[in-house]
Amino acid sequence: MRIMTATPAPNPSPTTPTSNSIPNPAAARRSIEALALGDAFGERWFPLFRDRRRAYDEIRARAVPEEPRWPWTDDTAMALGVLSALNEHGKIDRTQLAQTLADTFLSDPGRGYGSGMHELLPSLAAAPSSWPSATRALFGGEGSLGNGAAMRVAPLGAWFSADPDHAAEQARRSAEVTHAHSQGIAGAVAVAVAAALTARRAPIPDLLRQAADRTPPGPVRDGLTHATELPPATTPRQAADLLGSGRRIRADDTVPFALWCAARHQDDLIAALWTTAEGLGDVDTTCAIVGGVVGAATGVSAVPADWLERREPLPAWVAQMP
């Protein structure tokens, strides 16, 4: 098992807080703990995807993966980078975040990063201030519309839970470092808003609608709107077929389903993760998103002890957060 090391992140420099910048590090810590659990749990199902019927049957039977260790992936590695940047600066400084994400990648590039990040992050390590042009150059100049900015952003939303609109703006800034396409950014905004709302530790009846209302126009918001219209009896597999569950690794193919799962189980992290896994697809990423959103409220206090013992530990500085 490989455990990523990270330099402890200092607390933000003293500033005069405003109503929308008052941080909620406790919620962010709850979110990252649950995000890492969702990521590691979801990743366990990929080896079974050679026989998707078997994988689906085992998930439906709630057969807990038997591996003694559950390492997490690039989803958690990058979320730790975002959280470290907030813990140090109290807001998103995009050039600094570019440096942090690049250093995180170089310290352990085998975490399952996508091809775009293998191209982008080494160049940012050498010149972090080049992020605007380097990010725009991806995918023939269109920028990435993938789910990578969305998968890492829930702790940021929890951090800025005092003001979901401010969370949306900071999420946009965090996404722009790696995702120049409007829909890659929109996915991050939607997840951050959902996490900000759930961090208040009371179920939000219209969570999907509120997230959609703050999401920029386009396929991600359309998918969220579609998710609000699904009948209550819709099964996770049906929802995945209708909304997508990350098979195309795009934000619009990932975020609506993940937030549909989170909205159904805002007070039960384990039920939310099993529901999400039933959608198969990019299951480590969908479970990471759901874990980060639901966990912003619940944390991992109700998670079975053996799950937490198997999950790869997070860096020590996370536990030292308030």
pLDDT in tens, 132-178: 999 999 999 999 999 999 999 999 999 999 999 999 999 999 999 99
Instruction: Label residue 1 by pLDDT band (50, 70, 90).
Output: very low
Architecture (CATH level 2) of domain 25-319: Orthogonal Bundle (1.10)
The whole-angstrom separation of Cα 261 and Cα 227 is 10
Ramachandran assignment for 140, one of left (phi > 0), alpha (psi -120 to 50 degrees), beta (any other): left
Instruction: Label residue 85 by pLDDT band (50, 70, 90).
Output: very high
Compute the average pLDDT of residues 255-284. 97
Cα 219–Cα 224–Cα 229 angle in degrees, nearest 5: 120
Rounded to two decimals, what is the model's pTM? 0.93
The number of C-alpha atoms within 13 Å of 11 and in the hemisphere containing its C-beta is: 8
The whole-angstrom separation of Cα 229 and Cα 199 is 24
* Cα separation values, 190 from 24, 47, 169, Å: 19, 30, 11
Q: Is the pLDDT of residue 275 over 80?
A: yes
What pLDDT, in 10s, does the model give residues 28-43? Answer: 999 999 999 999 999 9
Compute the average pLDDT of residues 113-141. 95
Compute the average pLDDT of residues 251-258. 98
**What integer pLDDT is reported at residue 155 of this predicted model?**
98
The whole-angstrom separation of Cα 256 and Cα 9 is 32
**What integer pLDDT is reported at residue 289 of this predicted model?**
98
Q: Is the pLDDT of residue 20 over 60?
A: no
**What integer pLDDT is reported at residue 10 of this predicted model?**
39
The whole-angstrom separation of Cα 44 and Cα 35 is 14
Per the prediction, the chain carries an average pLDDT of 92
Instruction: Label residue 53 by pLDDT band (50, 70, 90).
Output: confident
What pLDDT, in 10s, does the model give residues 289-318? Answer: 999 999 999 999 999 999 999 999 999 999
Tokens of 253: 């193919």
The whole-angstrom separation of Cα 291 and Cα 273 is 7
What are the residue ranges spanned by the domains of the chain?
A: 25-319
**What integer pLDDT is reported at residue 225 of this predicted model?**
98
Q: DSSP secondary-structure letter at 181?
A: S
**What integer pLDDT is reported at residue 19 of this predicted model?**
52
Instruction: Label residue 49 by pLDDT band (50, 70, 90).
Output: confident
CB count within 10 Å of CB 272 equals: 26
Percent of all residues in the chain with a pLDDT value above 70, rounded to a whole number:
93
For residue 61, the surrounding DSSP H or E stretch is none
Shortest CA distance to 90 belongs to which of 4, 172, 28? Answer: 28
* Cα separation values, 297 from 33, 37, 186, 290, 313, Å: 11, 15, 23, 12, 20
The whole-angstrom separation of Cα 208 and Cα 157 is 15
Q: Is the pLDDT of residue 12 over 60?
A: no
| Contact call for residues 34 and 291 (beta carbons, < 8 A) | yes
Residue carrying the six token digits 């939607």: 190
**What integer pLDDT is reported at residue 11 of this predicted model?**
40
